[in-house]
Amino acid sequence: MKNNKLIKAWRRLLLKVLLALIISVCFFPVGMVYSQDIHFSQFYAAPLQLAPSYAGSYLGTRIITNYRMQWPSIPDAYNTFALSVDQRFPELNSGIGLLVTRDSKGDLDISTNTIGLVYSYDIKIKGSFHFRPGVQMAYSFS
């Protein structure tokens, strides 16, 4: 009984923190935002890169590494590396993950490094139907 109260308290706290993060990110921008999209040929092999709602969608701990070299016949080709780790927490209906990427654009001397935290929450609607919103916060640097 005491354990259920603790789980409910954690759920309420997580939802409040998630709501506060969403509001602060949407309404209080920190500065200019620059982006450089990375992509993988086999996008389904990089679920956290695809959508943050995939965090914790696997039943255990999941560790994934991805690598792509675009146009390998060209010297200093475009290289993209990604590492993701996520864990499901069924008692909290949540999933948490970490996503690390490095994208370098060969001779152009343009690179982007990103470290991000991913969170998803699973809401059971009816039967086997679920709604799984997710949020990702990341820090990018060159």
Q: Which pTM value belongs to this model?
A: 0.70
- Indicate whether 141 pLDDT > 80: yes
Buried b vs exposed e over 35-64: b needs ≥16 C-beta within 10 Å?
Answer: eeebeeeeeeebbbbeebbbbbbeeeebeb
Q: Quote the mean pLDDT of the chain.
A: 84
For the beta sheet containing 78-89, the strands, ordered from the edge strand earlier in sequence to the opposite edge, are: 62-70, 78-89, 94-105, 111-121, 134-141
Q: Give percent of the chain with pLDDT exceeding 70.
A: 90
73 pLDDT band, cuts 50/70/90, is confident
- Indicate whether 102 pLDDT > 80: yes
2 pLDDT band, cuts 50/70/90, is low
Q: How far apart are CA 142 and CA 69, in angstroms?
A: 19
- Return the higher-pLDDT residue of 72 and 56: 56
Is-contact 28 21, C-beta < 8 A? no
By C-alpha distance, which of 65, 73, 66, 79 is closest to 111? Answer: 79
Q: Give pLDDT tens digits for 39-71.
A: 777 878 888 888 999 999 888 899 999 998 888
Beta bridge partners of residue 65, listed in sequence order: 83
Mean pLDDT score, 11-18 = 83
Q: Which two tokens stand for residue 120?
A: 């998803």
Q: How far apart are CA 8 and CA 64, in angstroms?
A: 31
Q: How far apart are CA 48 and CA 56, in angstroms?
A: 10
Q: What is residue 64's predicted lDDT score, i.e. its pLDDT?
A: 94
